[in-house]
Amino acid sequence: MASFDSLPAPVDQADLTQQVEAVPITPSVLKTMRISKVFHDNKHSISSLAYDTSGQVCITTSPDESLHLYDCCYGRLRKTLFSKKYGADLARFTHHSNNIIYASAKGNDHALRYLSLHDNQYLMYFAGHEQQVVGLQMSPVDDTFLSAARDRTVRLWDLKSPHCQGIMHLPEAQSRPCIAFDPYGLIFAVGLDQSQSIRLYDVKNFDAGPFSTFQLDTALCQLTDSATAPQWTGVKCSPDGKQLLIITQSDSHFVLDAYTGAIQYRLMGHVPIIDSRGDEVTFSPDGRFVLAGSQDGAVCIWQLGQPEASKTSTLQPLCTLEGHLDPTKIVGFNPRYMLLGTGCTDLALWEPENLR
């Protein structure tokens, strides 16, 4: 498998481009992506996909109570674990490739679990949420992590303590907050669907409230020519920290300037995912492309280019990858290798045709 140089810390776009020069992520390369391996290990749709920081392994969860650990370099299943009592969702690697955190997926126990993949032993539980956890993000720089739940709270945790380090209570109408760390681990964003706003917080001082808020309802209604703005299902930060991606359950996703909140791009051309959870859309590791799953099983790829000042550009896909027969609800680009992971009930690994 071809690899590109690691991205140890967020850098400017020019530096990112230099680092991936060994195998550049270009339109011509992306257009040749083909499925190199398919895994039929799940009975139900895959609900989450995450890579470790080395890119050598990835893990999936599913409503069938399973966690599957895959070797990305050799294209094989390494281990299967089960969480039959609590279910498993939103698995995320810590900064150790043998350890993960994940959310409960059934019952009334909404604790987060810190699991050693090496011996399948729990290292710690993080209790506090009273309803389903819908967002879980590990800090890119240390052992802190964020969780968001339908109980209208966002909580900050540390792997070294079972106790919540901080809690944020959201407005009553918010039922599915979206969360994302910036690549420096200094700031996090909270997307609020009901109010159509993004709030930015200082990790070290988030009790003071947001230092910036982007109110987007009017702009989104104007762009979509609709009386109501689209339902949000996820928020993500670009690898260089300069853009925010709003994932919606409509025919459009949106890319924003992370400093001003200006909407730079409206991404169209995919078939909206029914019951989207936001995990079907991602940035490429260099931040120059956005990839999204589609209800028809395709993967759409947009090239962002240079945004126009004071104008929102509507983009159609640069190309569309065909492979899944069922809706592609999971899309994740490996952070170190020229490898794309997508999921419906099956997990597919994609590589450029000339590098297979």
Q: Give the helix/strand (H/E) hosting 283.
A: strand 281-283
**pLDDT per residue of the chain (356 residues) written in tens, 0 to 9:** 543 333 334 434 444 333 334 678 999 999 999 999 999 999 999 999 999 999 999 999 999 999 999 999 999 999 999 999 999 999 999 999 999 999 999 888 899 999 999 999 999 999 999 999 999 999 999 999 999 999 999 999 999 999 999 999 998 776 789 999 999 999 999 999 989 999 999 999 988 999 999 999 999 999 988 888 889 999 999 999 999 999 999 999 999 999 999 999 999 999 999 988 999 999 999 999 999 999 999 999 999 988 777 789 999 999 999 999 999 999 999 999 999 999 999 999 999 987 75
Separation CA 68–CA 209 (nearest Å): 38
Residue 68's DSSP bridge partners are: 60, 80
* pLDDT score for 227: 80
CATH superfamily, with its number, for domain 13-355: YVTN repeat-like/Quinoprotein amine dehydrogenase (2.130.10.10)
Separation CA 50–CA 174 (nearest Å): 26
HSE, CB side, 13 Å, CA atoms: give it for residue 158.
Answer: 8
* pLDDT score for 308: 79
Identify which of 269, 264, 225, 272 has the alpha carbon closest to the alpha carbon of residue 247. 272
* pLDDT score for 174: 67
Positive or negative, the Cα torsion across 254, 260, 262, 265? negative
State the pTM of this model.
Answer: 0.91
In the numeric block, the tokens 């020229």 are attached to 338
* pLDDT score for 48: 97
Separation CA 104–CA 133 (nearest Å): 8
Domain range list for the chain: 13-355
Cβ pair 181, 139 in contact under 8 A: yes
